[in-house]
Amino acid sequence: MKELTLVEKDRVGLLADVSEILGKAHVNIQSVFVDVTRAKQAIIHVILEPRATLTAAKALRKHGFKVMNSDILIVRTKDTPGELAKVCRLLADKGINVTNAFSISHYGGEALDAISTTDNTKARKIIKDYL
pLDDT digits (tens, 9 = 90+) for 20-45: 999 999 999 999 999 999 999 999 99
Same domain, 79 and 122: yes
Task: Give the range of the structural domain holding residue 120, as residue numbers without chain letter.
Answer: 73-130
Q: Which of 107, 106, 115, 109 is nearest to 86 (CA)?
A: 115
Alpha carbon of 1 to those of 20, 40, 69, 71, 95: distances in Å? 21, 28, 11, 6, 23
CATH number at residue 116: 3.30.70.260
Q: Which of 33, 52, 71 is the last residue of a domain?
A: 71
Task: Please give the Cα distance from 105 to 113 (Å, whole number).
Answer: 7
Same domain, 9 and 58: yes
Same domain, 65 and 83: no
Q: How confident is the model at residue 13 (pLDDT cuts 50, 70, 90)?
A: very high
CATH number at residue 33: 3.30.2130.10
- Left (φ > 0), alpha (ψ -120 to 50) or beta: where does 123 sit? alpha
Same domain, 56 and 100: no
Same domain, 57 and 111: no
pLDDT tens across 63-105, in order? 999 999 999 999 999 999 999 999 999 999 999 999 999 999 9
Same domain, 6 and 51: yes
Q: Which of 51, 71, 91 is the last residue of a domain?
A: 71
Output the pLDDT for position 128: 97
Which phi and psi angles does 45 have, rounded to 5°?
A: -110, 125
3-state secondary structure of 67: strand
Alpha carbon of 6 to those of 32, 79, 96, 124: distances in Å? 11, 29, 25, 25
Same domain, 9 and 57: yes
Same domain, 65 and 109: no
Give me the number of domains the chain comprises.
2
